[in-house]
Amino acid sequence: MHNIKYKINSFENKNPKLFTKRHHEIAEALERLLEKGVPELTMSQIAKRLKISLRTLYEIAPSRDKLILMTMDNILKKLGKFAMDSVSDIDSPIKKLEKYLFIVNQAVGPKFDTFLKDIEKINGSKKMADYHENFIKNIIKRLLQEAIQKNEIKKIDVKAFSILLGGIGREFFKEKNKNSIDLTPEKSANSITRIILNGIKL
């Protein structure tokens, strides 16, 4: 997956601080540490696991919650950039949208399952998730508008469809829904996405 520059709390800060290469390496090490979920570790214990000084860790984030949120923010940004890079050579807006959505739906896939369940307990997690969902919705809206202009799809309410398509994965990931569906949230989101897009194609 393509690397991007690590930015401090960029879903809250319009002018994020860029860190050094060393800070970026630490951020990536933290991603690997948290892959299997968010452990009940203090900042001091996290620093020890990463084999860095506590001072260096505080240079990245002022608290454990902020550190975990920034890590997830970075992971989701990498996934989003990978999705955009993967569709950059596709001319058809509707085909571009379909592939883009199938990639970003990985955010509710098995790789993030444990992490996402744990991160819901962190203050600010909803705000971060809303930020990324709104970003995705704006891309969906733009691609739907382009698809209409190219006569690939019917004339639809692009705002309504962007809300629907942009929130499917997150809706299926809710515990009450996840336990009532036969497939994983990712597979269910992809299945419904395919049906919706096929239904509006000309």
Planar angle of CA 144, 148, 152, nearest 5 degrees: 100
Q: Is residue 113 part of a domain?
A: yes
Domain count, the chain: 1
- For residues 143-163, b (16+ Cβ closer than 10 Å) or e, as one string? bbebbbeeebbeeeebeebbb
Q: Is residue 5 part of a domain?
A: no
Its pTM stands at 0.83
In a 10 Å sphere around its CB, with 0-12 CB exposed, 13-18 middle and 19+ buried, how is residue 127 labelled? exposed
What would the pLDDT profile of 100-140 be if each residue is shown by its tens digit?
A: 999 999 988 877 776 676 677 788 888 888 899 999 999 99
Q: Is residue 2 part of a domain?
A: no
Which pair of tokens denotes residue 1? Answer: 């997956």
Specify the CATH number for the domain of residue 144: 1.10.357.10
What would the pLDDT profile of 38-81 be if each residue is shown by its tens digit?
A: 667 889 999 998 899 999 999 888 998 888 888 888 888 889 99
Q: Is residue 112 part of a domain?
A: yes
Q: Is residue 95 part of a domain?
A: yes
